[in-house]
Amino acid sequence: MPIFICTACGMQYAESAQPPAHCVICEEERQYVPPRGQTWTTLEALRGSHTNTFREYEKGVIGIGSTPAFAIGQRALLLRTGAGNILWDCIATLDEATVTLIQGLGGIDAIAISHPHFYTTMVEWAHAFTARIHLHAADRQWIMRNDPAIELWDGETRTLWDGVTLIRCGGHFEGGTVLHWAGGAAGSGVVCAGDILTVTTDRKWLSFMRSYPNFLPLSARTVERIGEALAPYAFDTIYGHYFDRVIAPHAKAVVEASVARYVAAVEGTRGYE
């Protein structure tokens, strides 16, 4: 039977003879159903209409994104750490060229995803590379295609291996996660943030939202907790969820300043009355 993919958010559902009646991800307040209504595709169809684009940001950090953009339009990251390769976040398009290229770079040992909007075809990626998928258990209800490759974790942090840590920040989703790579490709520490911490358009600040398309902010205390979760870690670069959304250097200082600015704005202090 077909395995349908929502064209608005990219979520892949379990096998079914007919497309799902609705997308529970899009109908939840953090996403939306487009004006045209809910439509569906399959991975086979995507392979005929989309390819993947690659960008090496620095040695060991490669961005992967669908061309033309599909659904939310995020790009994934392939992190080539000394202990293994990680796919951070996920995109829907997976074709033979992508598999061949990544296999030539050592494959994928683990998949970690910031939040449900980027789960997409994670099971297809896991099967292609015999990889485990690491998701925070707080977001288990949003898994639309279960598979033995999915491994749920609880708590505030999860070490994948030495120097690579998943950190639960919450905020956008209860299990909202970022990845910290201690050395990073340049040796000064990297945070892969998805849009749990979203890099702003000017690439000078970060912002934080419950729903980006529906403009629902987070509370000041929730954003302060995000800052507290990252405080113990050293990093100089933040990779957001689009190809051009990168902050470097001094990324940790940007997190601290952005948390303070956000709190001042929502509390109406320091010029934001």
pLDDT tens, position by position, for the chain (273 residues)? Answer: 899 999 999 999 999 999 999 999 999 999 999 999 999 999 999 999 999 999 999 999 999 999 999 999 999 999 999 999 999 999 999 999 999 999 999 999 999 999 999 999 999 999 999 999 999 999 999 999 999 999 999 999 999 999 999 999 999 999 999 999 998 877 899 999 999 999 999 999 999 999 999 999 999 999 999 999 999 999 999 999 999 999 999 999 999 999 999 999 999 887 777
Do the domain assignments include residue 37?
yes
Handedness of CA 123, 151, 31, 263 (dihedral sign): negative
Contact 87, 125 (CB under 8 A): yes
Q: What is the pLDDT of residue 269?
A: 87
DSSP element (H, E) containing 110:
strand 110-112
Do the domain assignments include residue 94?
yes
What are all long-range contacts of 133-136, with beta carbons under 8 Å and residues at least 24 apart?
A: 134/110, 134/158, 134/160, 134/166, 135/175, 136/166, 136/168, 136/174, 136/175, 136/176, 136/177
Do the domain assignments include residue 272?
no
Question: pTM of the entire structure?
Answer: 0.96
Contact 80, 106 (CB under 8 A): yes
Do the domain assignments include residue 273?
no
Do the domain assignments include residue 30?
yes
Give the domain CATH number at 114.
3.60.15.10
Do the domain assignments include residue 245?
yes
Contact 96, 111 (CB under 8 A): no
Buried b / exposed e across 143-178, counting CB within 10 Å, b at 16+? Answer: bbbeeebbeebeeeebebeeebbbbbbbbbbebbbb
Amino acid at 26: C
Q: What is the pLDDT of residue 252?
A: 97
**Domain residues for 220?**
4-267
Radius of gyration of the chain (CA): 18
- Number of domains, the chain: 1
